[in-house]
Structure formats: C-alpha cells, structure tokens
Amino acid sequence: MQSEKAMQIGPISYPSPGRAWLSVIILMLCYVLSFIDRQILTLMVDPIRKDLNVGDVQISLLMGLSFALFYSICGLPMGYLVDTRRRNRLITAGVVIWTLMTGLGGMTRHYWILFVSRMGVGLGESVLSPAALSLIADSFPTQRRATPVSVYLSGASVGLGLALLLGGMVIQWAQQFGEVTLPLLGQLHTWQLVLLIVAGAGLIFAPVMLLVYEPMQRSASGCSQASFRELLRWLKEHRFAYLCHNGGFALLAMALTAMGMWAPTYFSRVHHMSPGSIGLQFGLIFGIGCTLAIIVGGVLSDRLRRYGWREANLIVGLVGAVLAIPPIIFGLSASNPDVAMFFMLPALMFLIFPFGAAASAVQDMTPPRLRGQASALYLLVLSVFQYGIGPTLVAMVTQYVFQNDAAVGLSLMWVCSTALALSASILIAAIAPYRRSMQAATALAAA
C-alpha cells in the first residue's frame, strides 16, 4: 500500500499553521452567518404561513427550492471563478449579496418577493463553500485535511444552533409586543424583524473576509487555468467514484436537512412546545452536540488515514448513515416529548458526523486545479437533494399521503430512514472507485 508520506511528493507548499488556521476560523464564522441566514425560517413556519396565507408545500418551497434553485444554478460558474480568481474577494462579495437579499425578505409581506429574496440568498452563498474548501485544501496536506474541513463545516451546526437559539429568544421577545414599527419601514411582523437583524450582522462581518490568506499554489506550476472542459474529462474518467460519492452523501444530507427544517415543526404541532423551548433545545443540540460530532468525524478520518485507511472518508460516512437510523425511528415515534427530544441528539449528531470527511474526500480525489469546480458540483448535487427534494418530499407525504398536519413526524421518519438506507448502500459501492480516483489525483498533482 502506498504510504501517505509518498503521496505528498511534489512542489506544492503550504502556509504556516497559524496563518492557515486563522483562515479556517474566519471561514467557519462566515459559514455560521450563512447558515443563520439559511435556516432562520425554520422556527417561523407557522407565523409566516399565517401572515402570507400559504400551506406547507409553499413554505417548503420557500425554505428549500427557492434557495436551492440559485445555489445550484450558480454553483458551477462560481466554481470556475474560484479556480481562477482571488477567493477571499469572491466570498466577500457573496456575503454582501446574501445579506442584502435577506434584508429584502425582511421588508416584504408578499410570498413571491420573499421567494425571490431566498433565491438571492442562494446566489450569494453559492460561492462560499467552493471557495472555502479550495482554500483549505491548498493550506493543509492530505493526511491532515479532514480536520480543518470539519472545523469549517461545523459552522453549519453552530449557525443552525444560533438560528434556533437566538431566533427562538427573539421571537418570544418580539411576540410580547406584536408588530414593531420602524422608521421608513413601517409596521413589521416578528419574522420580518428577525430577518433584518440577521442581514445587519452579515453586512458588519463582510470586510473581515479580506483577512483570509490566499495560498498561491493551486497546482504544481503554482497557477490555475482550469477549464470546465478539463473538469468534464476528469469526471468522465472517474464517473463512478463521483456518482457514488455525491449520491451517497446527498441522500445523507437530504435526511439531515429534512430533520433540521421539519423537526422543530414536529415538536410544535405534535408535542405543542413553544418556539422558545424548541429553539433552546435544538439550539443546544446543533450548537454543541452537532458541532462536536462533525469535528470528531474529521479527526477520526484523519486518524484512520494516518493508520493506512485511505478510504477513511467514506467509512466515516457509512458509519454515520447506519447509526442515525435507530434514533430517528425512536425519536419520531415517541409519545413523550422528553423522550423524543432525547433521541434527537444522537440522530442529528450521527447525521452531521460525516460531512467534514465527505467534503475532504472531494478534495482528495480531484486535482488541485479543479477543486473549486468539483466542490461546486458536489455542493450542487447536495443542494438539490437537501433543499430541493428533502423538505418538499416530507411536506408532500404529510399533505397528500397522510393528509394530516400532525403526521409530520411520520413523514420525517419514513423519508429519512429510506434515504439513509440507500446512502449506506451507495457508499459501500463507492469505496473501490474512490481509492482509484484518489491515487490518480495524487499522481497528477505530483507530476
């Protein structure tokens, strides 16, 4: 078996650990903000539905498809820019765009304008992860890459935790006063005020992104002139590895996002918990439990890699998919709210556990000059499943199969369990082709 040390032969150099980790922390904080923008609506489903006079399917489109549409469409062009332009400046522009669009959503009471604003959030956020993952891959060697990638991606759970925790507190506070009147904007509902607060925080943070260090070496020659045609040739040669990797983790992500978006509504409708209580408990689960889980997943993957398990990134994904199924079933079928919430912790921790390893795997099986575009393709597939399919599928099963709003827990259980069983099967099939693609990418980078 080829050693990890041998895999690093080549002229590519890396920034100092201090500089590299500073960039990771800033990128992680940016990801926190993006997920607050992305997920803040989950606690406000029923107030928005009431104020806009829409149903669950329209709300699921608002939370999922509206964002995923532009996030997916713009992902590959943004990936090309990532491979050819300064990535820290691209991210800064993206932050400004998505926060302005979040602010637009906070100033409207019309469903379709809010839908368009969520599309704009997807446009702005489409550059962040391709650029961040490419920056991190250029800053750390292969056998130590999954840990910083996991730290960056832990911003998702921190952001979701803060969205639920702070969002629940703000909603509970604002509900005491009803509508709020602001100069120039007039009367605002609680959910509109929350969106405006989130937008303001993003605009304040945007200039900080310019502190992120830009590694110059993206290939053996120290530059990148990657084309989309070159990416297509590489994907054609290694199509089975990418299909299985992207498909397996997309199904896992679909289950994670469906749980994140609909589980709070399940506790509200079925167990009659208040937004403040739901926000507090889910905020702690995501903010602490899931953050630790994704970092542990990355550390475990790096540790296994150093012991010779070159397919460790996929093994971590397989473990997460299999172990998440039992607590999902137990939690969503429990009649006691405390028992149901108890099982949410391991369910969500196992669901998010593999995603640092998953993103690191894309970097490992892709030549450095193509990583931005390959990451964008991976995120495109994930976004279609996790935002375009998952939340809407749960809503459709609830509305058209069970025909009962209170059956949202059963819908979640069936959709998530099926997706995870398929994910585990596909990731098993991915192991051998992934190993071959990683060998080819390493050889090309060192040439």
DSSP secondary structure code for residue 368 in this structure: G
329-333: Cβ within 8 A, 24+ apart:
329/413, 329/417, 332/266, 332/409, 332/410, 332/412, 332/413, 333/409, 333/410, 333/413
User: Do the Cβ atoms of 51 and 249 come closer than 8 Å?
Assistant: no
Q: List the chain pLDDT tens, one digit each, 447 residues.
A: 333 333 333 445 777 888 889 999 999 999 988 888 877 777 677 778 888 888 777 877 777 677 777 777 787 788 878 877 888 889 999 999 999 999 898 888 888 888 889 888 988 888 898 889 888 888 888 778 888 988 998 887 787 777 777 666 766 666 666 666 667 666 777 778 888 888 888 888 888 888 888 876 554 334 445 567 888 899 999 999 999 999 999 999 999 989 988 898 899 888 988 877 887 888 788 878 888 999 999 899 988 988 888 889 999 999 999 999 999 999 999 999 999 999 999 999 999 999 988 988 998 898 888 887 888 889 888 888 887 788 889 989 988 898 888 888 999 999 999 999 999 999 999 999 999 998 888 887 666
Task: For residue 11, tell me if it sits in a domain.
Answer: no
Task: For residue 98, tell me if it sits in a domain.
Answer: yes
What is the Cα gyration radius of the chain?
Answer: 21
User: Do the Cβ atoms of 158 and 291 come closer than 8 Å?
Assistant: yes
Q: What is the pLDDT of residues 343-393, one digit of tens each?
A: 999 999 999 999 988 988 998 898 888 887 888 889 888 888 887 788 889
Distance from C-alpha of 327 to C-alpha of 341, rounded to nearest angstrom: 10
Write the CATH number for 290: 1.20.1250.20
Distance from C-alpha of 67 to C-alpha of 391, rounded to nearest angstrom: 12
Task: For residue 343, tell me if it sits in a domain.
Answer: yes
Task: For residue 364, tell me if it sits in a domain.
Answer: yes
Q: What is the pLDDT of residues 229-277, one digit of tens each?
A: 888 899 999 999 999 999 999 999 999 989 988 898 899 888 988 877 8
Residue with tokens 């939340």: 391
Task: For residue 44, tell me if it sits in a domain.
Answer: yes
Sign of the four-CA dihedral 111, 113, 116, 121: negative
Helix (H) or strand (E) holding 186: strand 186-188
Task: For residue 5, tell me if it sits in a domain.
Answer: no
Domain count of the fold of the chain: 1
Helix (H) or strand (E) holding 446: helix 408-446
Task: For residue 398, tell me if it sits in a domain.
Answer: yes
Task: For residue 32, tell me if it sits in a domain.
Answer: yes
The alpha carbon torsion through 346, 350, 353, 358 (nearest 10 deg) reads: -170
What is the per-residue DSSP string for 17-53? HHHHHHHHHHHHHHHHHHHHHHHGGGGGHHHHHHHHT
User: Do the Cβ atoms of 413 and 263 come closer than 8 Å?
Assistant: no
Say what the pTM is.
0.74
Domain assignment of residue 428, given as a range: 16-214+226-446
